[in-house]
């Protein structure tokens, strides 16, 4: 199994850009929860804290793809460095406004300014695509590795952010996220020899990557996927609280991410037959079906046994996440031109973030109205919507692949 991962790191500079990209990616999972924790302590209002965090998410959804489009056109270093500088200025301003009790509107302005944070995950994947676009098995392994890195970020990041904010000082989580961003991006952009070439003239005739019909299907499906993630998190915390074990919710959710990590590691060593659109549809369908046991357990088992059951169901549900996301990223690489790859991948991240916000809100409403157990209907419904979107969009996905180039033949399964 490890030989597959050793092969991709044989390329000079690959370990350097992947590891520095990991550091630069940590702030994505630290910033939002760090803002909520900070403002809840300094201002005493979860409502204000959640609203400021939501503005950051919305700004990132609007500005992120535009920053990535500039990256494709002018290069990673030329765009990521100034975008990071603007993000850090806005973050410092947010910390100062929060600390010195500035008017609430200043917090929203600063959070909006942080929306220009560059999408390091997309830039890392663009480098892997530049190295291995002609070698699909290696690119598959590289995308699998990055999916695992994403999961690690979302396990470690919130723990660091919340832990520092509650045990050191309220601004510590957001401050450390800024340090990671600045240091990570500096180290990442210093790797010049692996930076993908730019295609400045290609953007004069081409519009945004989102005009791709196949990419639109992926983004909308990712909205549903994000709604699953966001709602599962909120409902699981509420369910743990209802059982009198609120602190155990973080462990239960970590098991969810662990399942995804393990699946991603194994999936990266496989060479799969069949078309990518069919595999994507299968992944979305399995992800949706895996939400049903959560509902069954929550409505039939209570107490500690209920939490254990939810943890087991989440572990199994997590096994479908990384394979589905890995396949989706491989589809993006095939659906959009190389000149728009970073933007295309950022659009999927935008869809995911939008879904997380929608799923969290919907789950909160259902939990307040009908209780924690009923809240698991939200991820079930989101999963069903995702399957319908993926099924209805199969022709667009296949058509998008046909207009680019024939899909390379893949070898049979091996471990």
Q: Which pLDDT does position 396 carry in this prediction?
A: 87
In a domain, 201, yes or no: no
318 and 384, same domain (yes or no): yes
Number of H helices, E strands in the chain: 19, 0
What's the pLDDT tens digit per position in 302-332?
A: 777 888 899 899 999 999 988 898 888 888 8
Q: 411 or 111: whose pLDDT is higher? A: 111
Q: What is the CATH number of the domain that holds 267?
A: 1.20.1250.20
Of the residues 164, 193, 222, which one is the last residue of a structural domain? 193
CB atoms near residue 89 (< 10 Å)? 13
What's the pLDDT tens digit per position in 384-401?
A: 999 999 999 998 888 766
In a domain, 299, yes or no: yes
Using pLDDT thresholds of 50, 70 and 90, give the confidence band for residue 23.
Answer: very high
In a domain, 314, yes or no: yes
Q: Which pLDDT does position 403 carry in this prediction?
A: 55
Of the residues 193, 226, 249, which one is the last residue of a structural domain? 193
Q: What is the mean pLDDT of residues 162-174?
A: 84
Q: What percent of the chain has pLDDT over 90?
A: 30
How many domains would you assign to the chain? 2
In a domain, 30, yes or no: yes
126 and 89, same domain (yes or no): yes
Q: Which pLDDT does position 407 carry in this prediction?
A: 42
Quote the tokens at residue 130. Answer: 């530049």
24 and 153, same domain (yes or no): yes
213 and 121, same domain (yes or no): no
In a domain, 22, yes or no: yes
Q: What pTM value is reported for the model?
A: 0.77
Q: Which pLDDT does position 405 carry in this prediction?
A: 45
Which region among 54-63, 98-107, 170-179 has the lowest average model confidence (pLDDT)?
Answer: 54-63
Q: What is the mean pLDDT of residues 248-265?
A: 82
382 and 257, same domain (yes or no): yes
Q: Which pLDDT does position 159 carry in this prediction?
A: 73
- 330 Cβ partners below 8 Å, 6+ apart? 139, 140, 143, 276
d(CA 185, CA 89): 15
Using the predicted structure, report yes or no on whether residue 411 has a pLDDT greater than 50: no
Q: What is the mean pLDDT of residues 268-291?
A: 87
220 and 369, same domain (yes or no): yes
Using the predicted structure, report yes or no on whether residue 340 has a pLDDT greater than 90: no
Q: What is the mean pLDDT of residues 216-237?
A: 87
Tell me what the pLDDT averaged over the chain comes to. 84
> Which candidate, 409, 351, 144, 348, places its Cα nearest to that of 230?
351
415 and 274, same domain (yes or no): yes
357 and 244, same domain (yes or no): yes
Using the predicted structure, report yes or no on whether residue 374 has a pLDDT greater than 70: yes
* Helix 76-99 / helix 46-74 crossing angle, nearest 10 deg: 160
Of the residues 144, 165, 193, which one is the last residue of a structural domain? 193
254 and 141, same domain (yes or no): no
What's the pLDDT tens digit per position in 281-305?
A: 999 999 999 999 999 998 887 777 8
185 and 217, same domain (yes or no): no
163 and 241, same domain (yes or no): no
> Which helix (H) or strand (E) segment is 370 a member of?
helix 341-370
Using the predicted structure, report yes or no on whether residue 116 has a pLDDT greater than 60: yes
Which residue range is the domain that position 384 belongs to?
A: 208-409+411-415
176 and 267, same domain (yes or no): no
Using the predicted structure, report yes or no on whether residue 205 has a pLDDT greater than 60: no
């Amino acid at each position: 199994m490890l030989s597959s991962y050793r092969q991709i790191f044989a390329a000079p500079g690959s370990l350097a850009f992947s590891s520095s990209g990991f550091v630069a990616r940590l702030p994505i999972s630290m910033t939002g929860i760090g803002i909520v924790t900070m403002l809840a302590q300094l201002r005493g209002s979860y409502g204000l804290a959640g609203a400021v965090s939501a503005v950051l998410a919305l700004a990132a959804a609007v500005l992120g793809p535009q920053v990535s489009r500039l990256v494709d056109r002018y290069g990673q270093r030329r765009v990521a460095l100034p975008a990071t500088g603007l993000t850090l200025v806005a973050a410092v301003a947010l910390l100062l406004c929060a600390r010195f009790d500035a008017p609430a509107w200043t917090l929203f302005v600063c959070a909006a300014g942080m929306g220009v944070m560059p999408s390091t995950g997309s830039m890392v994947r663009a480098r892997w695509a530049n190295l291995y676009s002609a070698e699909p098995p290696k690119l598959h392994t590289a995308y699998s590795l990055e999916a695992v890195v994403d999961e690690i970020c979302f396990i470690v990041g919130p723990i660091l952010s919340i832990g520092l904010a509650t045990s050191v000082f309220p601004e510590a989580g957001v401050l450390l996220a800024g340090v990671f961003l600045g240091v990570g991006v500096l180290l990442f952009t210093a790797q010049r020899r692996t930076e993908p070439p730019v295609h400045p003239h290609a953007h004069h005739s081409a519009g945004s990557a989102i005009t791709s019909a196949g990419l639109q299907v992926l983004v909308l499906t990712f909205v549903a996927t994000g709604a699953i993630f966001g709602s599962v998190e909120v409902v699981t915390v509420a369910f743990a609280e209802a059982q009198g074990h609120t602190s155990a919710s973080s462990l239960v959710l970590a098991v969810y991410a662990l399942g995804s990590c393990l699946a991603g590691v194994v999936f990266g060593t496989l060479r799969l037959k069949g078309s990518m659109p069919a595999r994507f549809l299968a992944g979305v369908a399995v992800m949706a079906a895996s939400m049903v046991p959560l509902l069954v357990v929550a409505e039939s088992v209570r107490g500690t046994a209920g939490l254990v059951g939810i943890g087991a169901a989440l572990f199994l549900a997590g096994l479908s996440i990384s394979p589905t996301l890995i396949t989706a990223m491989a589809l993006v690489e095939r659906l959009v031109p190389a000149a728009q790859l970073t933007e295309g991948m950022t659009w999927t991240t935008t869809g995911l973030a939008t879904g997380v916000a929608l799923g969290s809100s919907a789950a909160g409403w259902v939990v307040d109205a009908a209780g924690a157990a009923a809240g698991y209907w939200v991820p079930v419904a989101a999963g069903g919507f995702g399957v319908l979107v993926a099924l209805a969009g199969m022709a667009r996905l296949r058509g998008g692949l046909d207009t680019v180039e024939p899909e390379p033949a893949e070898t049979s399964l091996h471990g």
